[in-house]
């Protein structure tokens, strides 16, 4: 894969990419611009995930451009982050899930993909590069180089070992193990990322620089900073759309969810929903402090600031309690806000039938399901092959929750998905008529449409090389 395609991974969408072509990737005579990428964890847009981000929406969104049609190509942390780093779809970077066996931060990944990731390219172009926070879920595993492994392309490295945590974690500080406990002032990870980014800007940043900040919010265990522990005390997950609705015409994994949900399940997901918002308030502070420091150092006018997430999330949609991993809009849509040189304020960029893009009309969504080889002892009726099960025996994943979708944006807003199961189950949604994906119309449309979408899906699944960009 060429460097331009890897570089496109940072910008997530083609429209954002077009905004910075005059910088480092565009060549020519212009001086390269600084880049700050803020990458959150499990932050949705469809069920209110951006509501706590009041300062972020003003400082980045209102000061630049918002992309309501931003998507992940896979609704799971490690494969999605691998796509962002490499610019490749999962079938090309081969990260299947969050496990080492699934190629997450494996030795094979380090050898084949890290040399082509966008930080390596920017570093070769003279950028100073700084990373702080969650990288890939298996980063730091002893079987994959441990904390001594600093991924290629990073000048200053503060990588979280393992998955998101707020306290009691280990960092790799430029390859040196650094243990953290549970004292707020020294250890709360979102604030530590903030403080180290400000230190980098103050002491070490000489343009051009790339700074990636990857806080744990809004991932579990949802530990709020002390000042925000009582925020949103009466907030509940939104009850509209597909909330507590049975997915009667969907894949069996969604159909097995119990509708209506038990009161205990609703109370649990409401509590998780509130706590997610509480953790995001510290990210909102991070944005304010980083943008403020850039301005104080006279760097803001020459810096692109991106805000996005690795995947979306659900809380009660189709009676699934809390998780991601599903093909629906709530799990694949992500926030994307950008400000920087040449970007006019208060813009919204859509890719719709009314506003088509010359870059792409559709894209691929892929997911490889995971299950346990033996059944859950608490839920013997489910048998083997499921995972992510809740106490009421509603499971969020399974081996055959493996699917590939083509999501079209124009001339029609459609989602067509095929499952790799014995049924070869198919789901099709008209997002214009049915934005909440309540009605699977796969059995009710003209078969020629299904055939056309099937052929497009086959082509996307086989794509490779510089023209196959995630």
Q: Based on the number of CB atoms within 10 Å of its own CB, is 229 exposed (0-12), middle (13-18) or buried (19 or more)? A: exposed
Q: What is the pLDDT of residues 201-232, one digit of tens each?
A: 999 777 899 999 999 999 999 999 999 999 99
Query: Which distant-in-sequence residues (6+ apart) come within 8 Å of 266 by Cβ?
Result: 244, 316
User: Strand runs (DSSP E) across 201-358, as ranges?
Assistant: 209-214, 303-309, 314-315, 322-323, 336-339, 347-348
> Per mean pLDDT, which range of 1-5, 427-431, 456-460 is the poorest?
1-5
Decide: 438 and 242 in contact? Cβ < 8 Å. Answer: yes
Has residue 22 got a pLDDT over 60?
A: no
Has residue 99 got a pLDDT over 50?
A: yes
pLDDT band for position 382 (50/70/90)? confident
pLDDT band for position 344 (50/70/90)? very high
Has residue 37 got a pLDDT over 90?
A: yes
Q: According to DSSP H, which parts of 297-422 are helical?
A: 329-332
Domain limits, the chain: 32-350
Q: Is 393 one of the annotated active-site residues of the chain?
A: no
CA distance 146 to 470: 29
Decide: 302 and 34 in contact? Cβ < 8 Å. Answer: yes
**pTM to 2 decimal places:** 0.94
CA distance 373 to 182: 36
Has residue 21 got a pLDDT over 50?
A: no
CA distance 34 to 303: 4
Considering 77, 78, 104, 417, which one is annotated as catalytic?
A: 77
Q: Closest Cα partner for 116 from 152, 92, 73?
A: 152
Q: Closest Cα partner for 285 from 335, 332, 226?
A: 226
**The pLDDT of residue 38:** 98
Q: What is the pLDDT of residues 133-142, one digit of tens each?
A: 999 999 999 9
> What b/e string do you get for 156-165 counting C-beta neighbours within 10 Å, with b at 16 or more?
bbbbbbbbbb
Decide: 313 and 273 in contact? Cβ < 8 Å. Answer: no
Has residue 420 got a pLDDT over 60?
A: yes
**The pLDDT of residue 163:** 97
Q: How many CB atoms lie within 10 A of CB 389?
A: 18
Which whole number is the average pLDDT over 288-296? 97
β-sheet bridge partners, residue 405? 365, 417
Has residue 19 got a pLDDT over 60?
A: no
Decide: 157 and 175 in contact? Cβ < 8 Å. Answer: yes
The pairing of beta strand 209-214 with beta strand 303-309 = unpaired
CA 193 to centroid of chain Cα atoms:
18
CA distance 253 to 328: 13
Q: Closest Cα partner for 134 from 26, 250, 3, 283?
A: 283
**The pLDDT of residue 154:** 97
Decide: 190 and 215 in contact? Cβ < 8 Å. Answer: yes
Q: Regarding the domain delimited by 32-350, which CATH topology (the fold level of the hierarchy) does it fall under?
A: Alkaline Phosphatase, subunit A (3.40.720)
Residues 70, 73, 75, 79, CA torsion sign: negative
Decide: 146 and 138 in contact? Cβ < 8 Å. Answer: no
CA distance 96 to 74: 10
């Amino acid at each position: 894969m060429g460097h331009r395609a890897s570089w496109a991974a940072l910008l997530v969408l083609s429209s954002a990419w077009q905004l910075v072509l005059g910088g480092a990737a565009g060549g020519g005579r212009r001086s390269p611009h600084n880049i700050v990428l803020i990458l959150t964890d499990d932050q949705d847009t469809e069920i209110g995930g951006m509501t706590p981000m009041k300062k972020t929406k003003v400082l980045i969104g209102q000061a630049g451009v918002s992309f309501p049609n931003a998507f992940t190509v896979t609704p799971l942390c490690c494969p999605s982050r691998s796509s962002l780093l490499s610019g490749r779809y999962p079938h090309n970077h081969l990260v299947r899930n969050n496990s080492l066996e699934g190629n997450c931060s494996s030795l094979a990944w380090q050898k084949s993909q890290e040399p082509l990731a966008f930080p390596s390219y920017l570093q070769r172009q003279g950028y100073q590069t700084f990373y702080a926070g969650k990288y890939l879920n298996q980063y730091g595993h002893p079987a994959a180089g441990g904390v001594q492994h600093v991924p290629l392309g990073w000048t200053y490295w503060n990588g979280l070992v393992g998955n998101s945590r707020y306290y009691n974690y280990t960092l790799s500080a430029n390859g040196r193990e650094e243990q953290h406990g549970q004292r707020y002032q020294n250890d709360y990870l979102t604030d530590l990322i903030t403080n180290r980014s400000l230190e980098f800007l103050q002491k070490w940043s000489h343009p051009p620089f790339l700074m990636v900040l990857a806080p744990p919010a809004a991932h579990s265990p949802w530990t709020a900073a002390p000042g925000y522990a009582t925020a949103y005390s009466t907030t509940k997950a939104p009850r509209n759309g597909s909330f507590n609705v049975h997915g009667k015409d969907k894949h069996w994994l969604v159909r097995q969810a119990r509708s209506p949900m038990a009161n205990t399940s609703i109370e649990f997901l409401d509590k998780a929903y509130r706590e997610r918002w509480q953790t995001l308030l510290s990210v909102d502070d991070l944005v304010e402090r980083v943008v403020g420091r850039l301005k104080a150092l006279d760097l803001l006018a020459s810096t692109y600031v991106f805000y996005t997430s690795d995947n979306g999330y659900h809380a009660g949609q189709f009676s699934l309690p809390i998780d991601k991993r599903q093909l629906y809009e709530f799990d694949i849509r992500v926030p994307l806000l950008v400000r920087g040189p040449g970007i006019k304020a208060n813009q919204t960029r859509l890719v719709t039938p009314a506003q088509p893009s010359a870059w792409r009309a559709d894209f691929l969504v892929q997911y490889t399901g995971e299950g346990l080889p033996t059944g859950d002892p608490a839920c013997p009726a489910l048998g083997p092959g499921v995972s992510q099960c809740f106490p009421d025996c509603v499971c969020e994943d399974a081996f055959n929750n493996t699917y590939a979708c083509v999501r079209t944006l124009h001339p029609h807003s459609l989602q067509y998905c095929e499952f790799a199961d014995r049924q070869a189950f198919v789901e099709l949604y008209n997002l214009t008529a049915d934005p909440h994906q309540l009605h699977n119309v796969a059995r009710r449309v003209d078969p020629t449409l299904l055939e056309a979408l099937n052929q497009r899906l086959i082509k996307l699944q086989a794509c490779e090389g510089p023209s196959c960009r995630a």
